[in-house]
Structure 1
């Protein structure tokens, strides 16, 4: 039986290059589903709100997105070539495209990311090897298969690693630990490159959506820095 919560630490590189970083994780028992109409009504409502009030330039200035872009620069990655996922999702909607419909767990994590600007890692906790994760910086030619992206060059990207290697970056998570209809335990990590402000609200939003749409009690929360 795995620990009910993972031990998450920061590498010395991350501490030096991203000193403001604060994180929060939510771990919960869940039941996934292929589609939830009520959740998609929330997604559609946010989409209308975003398109009415945002521009391509204002997206980059959203505090959590701007801080993640700055973290990429500090770690050695061009955020205009490898966009943080929250920015990429907002830009997709602003281009008039619809959000990808994957499954309820992925869709609700995407909604929280869209609402808050945080790039959020969503993992099947039972696919993570070991009971600890470390946030470091990707190395040259480090193997990483992005979800739906094939081999991803993670050199210079912040990356969470388990015992077997990288599982998540703010641009893409890894196929190895992705969530699916079989997922029964979720680990969701919110990355606060601009500090702790807003993390509690994001974690609470994840818990609320898990209660509403994934037959969960909301799970437990872990702050780390």
Structure 2
């Protein structure tokens, strides 16, 4: 799956690096063993950060900066990593969805990167473009209905939008039947920390999702 970054995104964030993981997996209900790892990370976040500091994590701050450059209010449309960490610091439980979704959330919480997770078999065409969303882009965000993606970095396949750093799309979301996974880790702060996030993703998928035939690419 080729990913092409538009010139406008490049101009807004010259340091952007994407890490992609494609693999075969088996999805299931989240195990208690995995959730123990999630709970340990929740406690770490609580011990390290205050609520008013979380948007200053370098990975989150860089994503917010790009939103502002593109004309989007990051306080109204928060990057997903920030939203997850804020949830923890506001003493709201992290939702348990499925192994694959929860793995992505755990990696995002630990790394600070917003991560797209897609069922590869639902993506239309042979390439994905990272563009700036417009008012003409209709986007049904997972669990939140229509999302105004104008001014957001927007991944698009042949049919339309599939994901932003704020939310992914219902059409290409991970389900219980997902067997081929695409993860896109958004490094708006550059390459630092991306390899660690990739390694942690592969470790978790290997332990909990029967990982096979994995491919990793960095796009600069």
Structures share fold, TM-score greater than 0.5: yes
1:44 to 33, 39, 60: 39
Tell me, which stretches of 5 or more residues in structure 1 are unaligned? 1-5
In structure 1, the residue matched to 2:133 is: 138
SS at match of 1:100: coil
The one-character-per-residue Cα deviations of 1:14-36 (angstroms, maximum 9, x if unpaired) are 11111111111000100000221
In structure 2, distance between residues paired with 1:218 and 1:73: 38
Shift of 1:141: 3.6
How many correspondences in the alignment? 220
Shift of 1:85: 0.2
2:11 to 3, 16, 36: 16
Aligned pairs for 1:148-167 within 5 A:
148-167=143-162
TM-score normalized with structure 2 length: 0.98
In structure 2, distance between residues paired with 1:182 and 1:223: 27
Bigger shift: residues 48-57 or 118-127: 48-57
SS at match of 1:79: coil
TM-score normalized with structure 1 length: 0.96
The answer as to whether partners of 1:137 and 1:155 remain within 8 angstroms in 2 is yes
1:184 and 2:179 correspond: yes
Q: 4+ residue runs of structure 1 moved beyond 4 angstroms?
A: none
The one-character-per-residue Cα deviations of 1:83-134 (angstroms, maximum 9, x if unpaired) are 0000000000111111011100000000000000000000000000012111
The answer as to whether partners of 2:51 and 2:90 remain within 8 angstroms in 1 is no
In structure 2, the residue matched to 1:34 is: 29
In structure 1, distance between residues paired with 2:212 and 2:170: 27
Aligned-pair Cα RMSD in Å: 0.9
